[in-house]
Structure 1
Amino acid sequence: MSGSANQNIPKKSSYDVVIIGGAMLGSSVAWFLSSNKDFNGSILVVEKDPTYEFASTSHTNSCMRQQFSAEINVRISQFAADFVKNFRDYMGGDDRVPDVPLHSYGYMYLADTNSFADVLRDNQKLQAACGAGTKIMSPEEIKRDYPFYNLDDIIAGSINLVDEGYFDGNTLFDWWKRSARENGVDYIANEVVAMTRSDSGRKVDSITLKSGEIVSCGTIVNASGPRAVLTSRMAGIEIPVEPRKRYTFIFDAEIPVDGDLPLTIDPSGVHMRSDGAYYLAGCPPDEDPAVDYEDFTQDHSIWETKAWPAIAARIPQFEAIKLVNSWAGHYAFNPFDQNAIIGPHTEVENFLFVNGFSGHGFQQSPAVGRGISELIAYGEYRSLDLTAFSFTRIEQNRPFVEKAVI
C-alpha cells in the first residue's frame, strides 16, 4: 500500500489533481479517477482531520432511495444501488472486498394534505418511467401491510421496496480510501489555507498548505463538505453551501413492530426506520439556521418535544421506547435549491465542485465520483450527464429544485 494514512507532507511539489477533502465524496473521486485506465496523472488528497470525527461521512444514516422528484437524482441512486449490490465486481473482483448488503425495506412517505399527496403521485409517475418500483398506497392499503401505523390523518403514502433502504456506506468509503492509496493516490493530513490564481484568473495555479508547502496543481476538486465555501473563497468563488444541524436518535422499543420498519417520513418532519435490533430516528430543528462549523452540541429538548411525540403519535406502540444513543451532525446544505453543485466553475476553469449535497451525499457518491473522474479524464460526462448540477444555474439564479428532501 503506497502512502501512509498519517502522512502530512506531500511527496511532490506538483500534482495533476488536488482533492480538498478526503471523506466520502473526495475519496470516491480519488478512487474512480485513479482506477480510470485513461488517466495516468498524479492525485493528492488533502484532509484536515483524517479521523473524520466531525465529517458528515461519520454522522451519516447511510440510506438510499429512488424517490426523488428529478429524473437525474433517480438515475444517480439507481447507479448507487447497482454499485452497492455489485461492490466487489466494481472494485475489480478483489477477493478482499466484502459484500455490502442493501437492506431494501423502502422509504414510506406519508401525506396528510392533498397537495403533498399530489406531489407524491407526480413523483411516482416520474420514478416509474425510470424503472423504479414506487407505488402509491391508500390508507387502507398501508394499514393492511403495515398495521402498526396510526393513519387517522393520512391521505396517501408512497413506498418503493426495490433497491431502497439502508446500506453500509462506510465500507464503501474505507475501500475507496484503501484502493485509491494502492492506486498511488497520496493522502495527507493537512489543510489548504490559500490558493494562487493565474495572471488571467482563469486557473488556480497552486495551493498553500498550513504546514507551509506550496503545491502546484492542474485541477482542484472542492470536496470539503459543509466547509465548501471556505475552500471556494480561497479561489475568490462564492457558493451557497452552509452547515445545517441534523439530529439522529437510536432507540429501543419495548414492543417492536412486526417485521422491518420502512424509513418513514412523517408529515411532522421526523423520520424513523429499523436499525438492526434498534430503531433510528432523525429530524431537523424547527429553527434551522446555518450553524458554526465547530458546533455539534445537541439540543436534548428536540427528542422530548419533537421526535418522541411524533414517533409515538405515528406508531402508538412506540410510546414505550428508550433512547439508547444520539448525535448531531452537519448537512452540507445548499439553501439555493437543495441540490448538489457539481462540475467546473464558469471562470476559474480548473476548479471543480463536489458540494452542497443537502443530505444526499452518501447515496450520490458513486455516480458523482464516476462523473467527476470522467470530466477530468475526458473533459465530458460519459455515463450520466450531471450538467443539471452545474454552477451555471447558481450564476444565472435558476434553481434546480428537488422537492423530495428529508
Structure 2
Amino acid sequence: MQAPEHANYDVVIVGGAIYGSAVAWFLTDNPDFDGTILVVERDPTYEFASTSHTNSCIRQQFSEEINVRISQFAADYIKNFRSHMGGDARIPQPLIHSFGYLYLADNAGFAAALREAQKIQAACGAGTRHMSRDEIAQAYPFYQLDDIIAGNHNTVDEGYFDGHTLFDWWRRMAKERGVTFLTNEVVAMNRNAAGTRVESVILKSGEVVGCGTVVNASGPRALLTARMAGIDMPVEPRKRYTFVFEAAEPLDRDLPLTIDPSGVHMRTDGAYYMAGCPPDDDGPVDYADFAADHSIWEDKVWPILATRIPQFEALKLRNAWVGHYAYNTFDQNAILGAHDAVANFVFVNGFSGHGLQQSPAIGRGTAELITYGEYRTLDLTPLNFTRIAQGARFVEKAVI
C-alpha cells in the first residue's frame, strides 16, 4: 500500500482503469481546471479489471441519438488520438478496423426495430445500411441465412480498435501532468453532518484524505463504492465469455461483428476469430468469481458458429477468458453525473459492455461537469443518475 502525498485533493477518483484514467486525463487537459487529483487503484496490475478483458469494439448502431453521438466522438478521437493528446511524437496513432457490426433479424418485429434504428443513425450521419437477406448473402456469402429476414450493417468507423492504447496513454500522460495514481483502496467515506457531501475518504492503509469531489470509477464494484457514501445504485458484476479460435478454412474476407439472434456474437480478430456471449443463467456473480464454464463453448457457442457459418464447423479454440460487465440492472445504460442528494459524489458507472467505446466522450463530459458544473460539448444529462432516482428508464434497444 502506498500513502498519499497530500492530506487533501480537489478530486479523488476511486478506480484507476479506463474511466479513472479518462476522467483524470480530461481534467488535466481542461484549461480551466487547476486542481489536484488523486486516483486510488486497488490492483495496479489491472488483472481482473473490465478494461483488461475488453474486446475493444466500437459501434454507432444504437437506437438513441445520444449513444450514437457518444460513439461518433469516440471514432474521431481514436482516429486523431495523437492530435487530441497534444501531438506528442511518442504517442501511437490507433486505427479503427471498420469491418462493422452486423445485426441479424430472424423475425419481423426485430427487423422493424432495426429499420427504425437505421433511420436514427442515418439522421446522425452514421453509415448504417438496412439490408435484406439477399443483400447480406451477396456481401457475405459464407453465412447460412435460412432463418434471417433482414439486418443492419455499418462499415464506417465501426469495428475494432486498440483500446489499451488509449488507457495506457491517458494514465501515463495524466501522471506526467501531476496526477497521483495511488496503489491503495478506499474502504470508507465520511460525510458532513447533513449527509449532503463526502468530506473525506479513508484508505485501507489508514490515512484520511479530504476531497472536493469523489468520482466513482469502480467498474463492476461501483455499488461497493457508492455504499460507502450511503448511496444505493443498480450495478452488479455479470460474467461475459470471450473465445478466440482458428478456422481450418478461413473466410475470404473480414467477418463483421455479427450479432446472431441467439445472443452469440463473432468477428474477425487478426488471423483468428473471436466470439462471445453471456451465460444462459445471466445473473449477478461474486466480485472475485471469474471461474469459467467450459460447457458454454462446446454446447452453445461452437454449434451456433457452425450453424451460422458452415466453414466454422472445423475450429480450434486458441484462447478463452471470463470478464465482468458492470451491468446496470435498471436500464443497461451509463450512469453519470452527480448524486441528487450527495452533491459531490459523481458517477461514471454501469456501462453494461459499452464502456470502452464511450470513454472519450464521457471522460471529457465528466471533466466538464466537475470543472463547470455542467456539460459544455455534448449534453449527457439523459444519462445522469437523477433518472435512477426518478424511476425514469433510458431505453436503449441495441444492447449486446
Question: Displacement of 1:201 after TM fit?
Answer: 1.1
1:297 matched to 2:314: no
1:326 matched to 2:320: yes
1:236 matched to 2:236: no
How many residue pairs were aligned? Answer: 400
Question: What is the alpha-carbon distance in structure 1 between the residues aligned to residue 110 and residue 296 of structure 2?
Answer: 25
Which residue of 263, 270, 284 corresponds with 1:276?
A: 270
Matched with 1:156 is 150
Question: Displacement of 1:147 after TM fit?
Answer: 0.3
Which residue of 186, 196, 202 corresponds with 1:202?
A: 196
Question: Displacement of 1:69 after TM fit?
Answer: 0.7
Matched with 1:118 is 112
1:183 matched to 2:182: no
Matched with 1:4 is none
Q: Is the 8 A contact 1:105 1:261 kept in 2?
A: yes
Provide TM-score, normalisation by structure 1.
Answer: 0.98
Which residue of 284, 288, 297 corresponds with 2:282?
A: 288
1:212 matched to 2:218: no
User: Counterparts of 1:64-75 in structure 2 under 5 Å?
Assistant: 64-75=58-69
- TM superposition outliers: structure 1 runs of 4+ over 4 Å: none
Q: Is the 8 A contact 1:71 1:127 kept in 2?
A: yes
Q: Is the 8 A contact 1:66 1:78 kept in 2?
A: yes
Question: Displacement of 1:300 after TM fit?
Answer: 0.3
Percent pairwise identity: 70
Question: What is the alpha-carbon distance in structure 2 between the residues aligned to residue 390 and residue 374 of structure 1?
Answer: 14
Question: What is the alpha-carbon distance in structure 2 between the residues aligned to residue 340 and residue 308 of structure 1?
Answer: 31
Question: What is the alpha-carbon distance in structure 1 between the residues aligned to residue 63 and residue 252 of structure 2?
Answer: 31
RMSD: 0.6
Secondary structure at 1:102 match in 2: coil
Question: What is the alpha-carbon distance in structure 1 between the residues aligned to residue 2 and residue 83 of structure 2?
Answer: 32
1:355 matched to 2:363: no
Q: Is the 8 A contact 1:343 1:390 kept in 2?
A: yes
Letter in 1 for 2:358: Q
Question: What is the alpha-carbon distance in structure 2 between the residues aligned to residue 46 and residue 379 of structure 1?
Answer: 23
Question: What is the alpha-carbon distance in structure 2 between the residues aligned to residue 383 and residue 209 of structure 1?
Answer: 34
1:42 matched to 2:36: yes
1:221 matched to 2:210: no
1:345 matched to 2:314: no
Question: Displacement of 1:392 after TM fit?
Answer: 1.1
Unmatched segments (≥5 aa) in structure 1: 1-6
1:14 matched to 2:31: no
Question: Displacement of 1:54 after TM fit?
Answer: 0.1
Q: Is the 8 A contact 1:35 1:183 kept in 2?
A: no
Cα displacement string for residues 33-90 of structure 1 (whole angstroms, at most 9, x for unaligned residues): 0111110000000000010000000000000000001100000000000000000000
Question: What is the alpha-carbon distance in structure 2 between the residues aligned to residue 352 and residue 314 of structure 1?
Answer: 43
1:145 matched to 2:139: yes
Letter in 1 for 2:380: L
Cα displacement string for residues 183-234 of structure 1 (whole angstroms, at most 9, x for unaligned residues): 1000001000000001121100000000000000000000000000000000
Question: Displacement of 1:320 after TM fit?
Answer: 0.3
Question: What is the alpha-carbon distance in structure 2 between the residues aligned to residue 289 and residue 95 of structure 1?
Answer: 45
Provide TM-score, normalisation by structure 2.
Answer: 0.99
Q: Is the 8 A contact 1:203 1:348 kept in 2?
A: yes
Secondary structure at 2:303 match in 1: helix
Unmatched segments (≥5 aa) in structure 2: none
